[in-house]
């Protein structure tokens, strides 16, 4: 069984969030501590703790999430570019153990990221 996270509570609407996208498979909402003018998190409704624990059965879900990020980026007017980040495990900077994709944009994003 997966740990109950803040993202699980957002999915269940127990915690409010500024939701910009929702379908049967995933949810997109604005990050409460944005690192760029546009910072949206896209999370699966299926509780996958981290990318390292996704299986081959999640292939369609992961593809759907990436296409959702693309759609949200278009909706947000990020035609000049954006970055998609998946942090995995503690050394990768993951703080909430529910798989999520960060959509960052609205400014020039330097490389390397940090």
How do residues 4-25 score in pLDDT, each as one tens digit?
999 999 999 999 999 999 999 9
**Ranges of H-type helices in 1-114:** 6-11, 59-75
In the residue annotation, 100 being an active-site residue is answered as: yes
- Please choose, from the candidates 36, 38, 44, the residue with its C-alpha nearest in 3D space to the C-alpha of residue 18: 38
* pLDDT of res. 3: 72
Q: How much of the chain, in percent, has pLDDT values that exceed 70?
A: 97
- Say if residues 48 and 54 touch (Cβ distance below 8 Å): yes
Predicted confidence (pLDDT) at residue 1 exceeds the cutoff of 90: no
Predicted confidence (pLDDT) at residue 104 exceeds the cutoff of 90: yes
Catalytic residue among 39, 64, 98, 100: 100
- Please choose, from the candidates 108, 86, 114, 113, the residue with its C-alpha nearest in 3D space to the C-alpha of residue 98: 86
pTM: 0.95
Looking at the domain 6-105, which fold is it? HIT family, subunit A (3.30.428)
Mean pLDDT of 33-62: 97
């Amino acid at each position: 069984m997966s740990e109950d996270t803040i993202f699980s509570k957002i999915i269940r609407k127990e915690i409010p969030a500024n939701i910009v996208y929702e379908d049967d498979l995933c949810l997109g909402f604005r990050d409460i501590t944005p690192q760029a003018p546009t910072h949206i998190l896209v999370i699966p409704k299926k509780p996958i703790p981290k990318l390292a624990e996704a299986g081959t059965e999640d292939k369609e879900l992961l593809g759907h999430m990436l296409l959702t990020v693309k759609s949200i980026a278009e909706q947000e007017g990020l035609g000049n570019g954006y970055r998609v980040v998946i942090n995995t495990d503690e050394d990768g900077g993951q703080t909430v153990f529910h798989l999520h994709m960060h959509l960052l944009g609205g400014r020039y994003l330097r490389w390397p990221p940090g």
